[in-house]
Amino acid sequence: MNWKSFVRILLSALAIIFCFSSLFWWQPPWQTVEREWELIKWNSGQMQIIFQARKSHSEMQQIANTAYKQIERLDSVINEHDPKSEAGKLRLFMEKGEKNSLFPLSDELFSLVQFALLVSQNSQGVFDITISSYINLWKKCTKENRLPTEEEIQSVKKITGFQHIQLDYEKKALGIRAESLSISLGAFVKGYAVDQVASFLQSQKVPIGMVNMGGNIFCYGPRVWKIGIQDPRIQDPDAPQDSIAVIALENKGIATSAHYRRYYEIQGKRYSHILDPRTGNTVSMKVACATVIASTAMEADAYSTVFCILTPQESLELAKSLNLDAMIIVQEGEKYRRYETPGFEKYWVTKPPEIFQKQ
């Protein structure tokens, strides 16, 4: 074989190899591979975003970064601990006790306060955003390693109560009927932030997504998400957190409230971080955890706290009246009892072990 013939055969072979390799490695722009992008980031905790879309990697990176910035925007509205935020300014206004004046609210904060007052009414005061003074009292007593006295609790009781808040719907403003009220939005704003980030993802034409912030979760789109229920028997917040069961969730919000990560410790004894606004005392740790599934993460967040305070029977009745699904685990000595709304059954993928007896 002469050199020219060899070269022709070699070039033909390379051309064939190139054509076949192109079939495997080249895709036209309109056939962008569906990717899954995950972001775990938050400025004062942990936030997880998982979403899928037929977009390029750079587009999805941009969406993820912008989604994270939604939290920064929300922080300027709902962080009552920041005196520069809208909620922080509202808190200062309420603590001054200006009973004859109104504090103008943005549409966003107005709707949040409106939601909180509705939950307060539905729960007959078990949920109350004026609970901040009780929280401060318990934090102070924890530092001093003592329980609050009855006199201290009764003194704080005079400056708490959602019924002292009045909304002016025409002026979109808030007024107060008592002096020195304080505000705490912590019982539901994580759920609200989750909903807002999920809404942003949908506005960017992301068809499938899940947002998780501290166990407050919202997922949407044509995908079934598997969510673990944490084992309430593990009381050490630094220990590995195992799941006792798995549920399947689609286009819903879910939240669990419990005592295993946060608590007050006084004289060597642990007390729940959840306070009953009706008494000013911490709730019994008999309710080990309460899980709520709702149409929004904000609703699930708020009512999971409520269901840690009410009895299981009261919680199930309230859940059914509000079209919520709930599961409450109660500890009785070394035994655990599980209470569920009838609709909760359809979510189970793996049920809790037999030690968590269903009632």
For residue 18, the SS3 value is helix
Query: What is the per-residue pLDDT for 9?
Result: 34
- C-alpha to C-alpha distance for 195 and 211, rounded to whole angstroms: 8
**pLDDT computed for residue 345 by the predictor:** 96
Do 75 and 42 contact (CB within 8 A), yes or no?
no
Q: Is the pLDDT of residue 18 over 70?
A: no
CA-CA distances (angstroms) from residue 267 to 238, 270, 281?
A: 21, 8, 16
Lowest-pLDDT choice from 55-69, 71-85, 155-169: 55-69
Which amino acid, 359?
A: Q
195/32 Cα distance (integer angstroms):
28
Q: Classify 105 as helix, strand or coil.
A: coil
Average pLDDT over residues 263-278: 91
Roughly what angle, to the nearest 10 degrees, separates helices 150-157 and 132-143? Answer: 160
Which is more confidently placed, 116 or 284?
116
Greater confidence (3 vs 348) lies with 348
264 band by pLDDT with thresholds 50, 70 and 90: confident
For the segment 251-279, the average pLDDT, to the nearest whole number, is 90
- Residue 51's pLDDT band, with cuts at 50, 70 and 90, is confident
Report domain 224-359's class.
alpha beta
Percent of the chain, pLDDT > 90? 63
**What's the average model confidence in pLDDT over 36-60?**
72
Question: What is the band of 3 on the pLDDT scale with cuts at 50, 70, 90?
Answer: very low
Between residues 338 and 49, the one the model is more confident about: 338
User: What pLDDT does 122 receive?
Assistant: 98
What's the predicted TM-score (pTM) here? 0.86
- pLDDT, tens digit, for every residue of 79-99? 999 999 999 999 999 988 877
Location of structure tokens 């079939």: 23
Please list the alpha-helical segments (H only) found in the chain. Answer: 3-25, 57-78, 86-96, 107-122, 132-143, 150-157, 189-203, 297-306, 312-321
- Is pLDDT at 200 greater than 90 in this prediction? yes
Express each pLDDT in 139-188 by its tens digit: 999 999 999 999 999 999 999 999 999 999 999 999 998 888 889 999 99
Report the share of the chain in percent with pLDDT over 70: 85
Strands 325-332 and 287-294: antiparallel
Is the pLDDT at 16 greater than 50, yes or no?
A: no
| Average pLDDT of span 44-72 | 83
- What are the extents of the domains in the chain? 79-176, 224-359
Winning range, highest mean pLDDT, from 67-76, 206-215, 290-299 = 290-299
Antiparallel, parallel or unpaired: β 335-340 and 325-332: antiparallel
Do residues 256 and 238 make contact, with C-beta atoms less than 8 angstroms apart? no
Of 156, 162, 158, 161, residue with least CA distance to 137: 156
Confidence of residue 28 (pLDDT cuts 50, 70, 90): very low
pLDDT score, position 239 = 62
Pair of tokens at residue 233: 């028997």
Mean pLDDT of the 193-198 span: 96
Give the separation between CA 124 and CA 278, rounded to whole angstroms.
9
Cα–Cα distances in angstroms (integers) from residue 235 to residues 40, 145, 231, 271, in the given order = 25, 20, 9, 12
Which of 3.90.76.10, 3.40.1800.10, 1.10.3980.10, 3.50.50.60 is the CATH number of 79-176? 1.10.3980.10
With vertex at residue 345, the alpha carbon angle to CA 308 and CA 353, rounded to the nearest 5 degrees, is 75
